[in-house]
Amino acid sequence: MKQLNNVILAAGVALSAVAFSPAYAQHDNHAQHAQHGEHAAASVELTDGEIKKVDKDGGKLTIKHGELKNLGMAAMTMVFRVQDAAMLDKVKVGDKVRFAADKVNGSTTVTHLEPAK
């Protein structure tokens, strides 16, 4: 029984060391920032697009877009959810935009949106 207690204690110490290691802490911190959308715009790869429809009630944009490399999608026209409803007030049909999209809770979602220059 004493040997079993020592094994359990050793396993607990090993797991604690992993959980509080800098690498784990960095990963956990990164996950929290990603969850809150705090990535710098400079690190986001933007895709060119044209707004085809704005659905404020549904919280969606239809965008004709170029390739979305991070999602493995070819150029097409498709409907996206928006991460922030305020994005819907910043665009109208026909606007040229640059945007980033990602999978958020299983839905393809616009996470960054700006006017094309």
Within a 10 A sphere around the Cβ of 110, how many other Cβ atoms? 24
Residues 51-101: tens digit of each pLDDT: 999 999 999 999 999 999 999 999 999 999 999 999 999 999 999 999 999
Q: Where are the domains of the chain?
A: 2-35, 41-115
Average pLDDT over residues 96-113: 97
Find tokens 């999608």 and name the residue: 73
User: Which CATH code, of 3.90.1150.10, 2.130.10.30, 2.60.40.1260, 2.40.50.320, is assigned to 41-115?
Assistant: 2.40.50.320
Residue 40 scores a pLDDT above 60:
no
